[in-house]
Chain A
Amino acid sequence: NAGVMQNPRHLVRRRGQEARLRCSPMKGHSHVYWYRQLPEEGLKFMVYLQKENIIDESGMPKERFSAEFPKEGPSILRIQQVVRGDSAAYFCASSPLEKQGANSPLHFGNGTRLTVT
């Protein structure tokens, strides 16, 4: 059973370009979370999605960032017109249930490391 798959693992973009990060949740998981990890900081929640719905985007910057989780295919985190401050590791996590627990924890992918030059 494959884990949470994120690609690409590394992404380099010049300022002003667009970055597209993809996340395929574990099989049977319909709940997806995106987190950002800045250097020397812990993970920060960005957005929570279920299939075709954004449930909570309270951690998402108001501009340039968007996320989707279509009926078919991976979840996508899109960053338009990237700036140097967007350089970070972006982690996706999935869960089969809305509520977490010891037996149904979040499963994290290995992240996409975005570098903006």
Chain B
Amino acid sequence: QKEVEQDPGPLSVPEGAIVSLNCTYSNSAFQYFMWYRQYSRKGPELLMYTYSSGNKEDGRFTAQVDKSSKYISLFIRDSQPSDSATYLCAMTTGNTGKLIFGQGTTLQVKP
């Protein structure tokens, strides 16, 4: 069993839709949770960074962490074609750069 599970998709939605992306994990020691966006042939860029359980909102993006269920989510409101990318969840125990990544979910937002 992988430490972090993420449905690879692909996920295709119409422009303006609400997108929900999810990851589950098995290691209860994870405390820091991140979502990265990766465009084709590019490196990942950080979208959201959260510590422990709770919600965090940044513009059209909302990250949720439920440590009791070992489940994290990223919601994208009013999705745009420019949101088409691969979204990677990542987590770590000690707030270091040694991250455990999910497989990534490929999202396509159609105009």
Contacts and interface: CB of A to CB of B under 8 A. Distances in A.
A23 B41 CA distance: 17
A110 B4 CA distance: 23
Given A42-B101, A45-B100, A105-B49, A100 B42 contact: no
B49 A93 contact: no
Interface of B: 4, 6, 8, 32, 34, 41-46, 49, 88, 90, 92, 95-104
B48 to A, nearest CB: 8
B41 A110 contact: yes
Given A41-B103, A42-B104, A43-B88, A108 B43 contact: yes
Interface of A: 4, 31, 33, 35, 40-45, 48, 56, 59, 91, 93, 95, 98-102, 105-106, 108-111
18 contacts: A35-B101, A42-B4, A42-B104, A44-B101, A45-B100, A48-B96, A48-B97, A98-B96, A100-B49, A100-B96, A101-B95, A105-B34, A106-B46, A109-B43, A110-B41, A110-B42, A111-B41, A111-B42
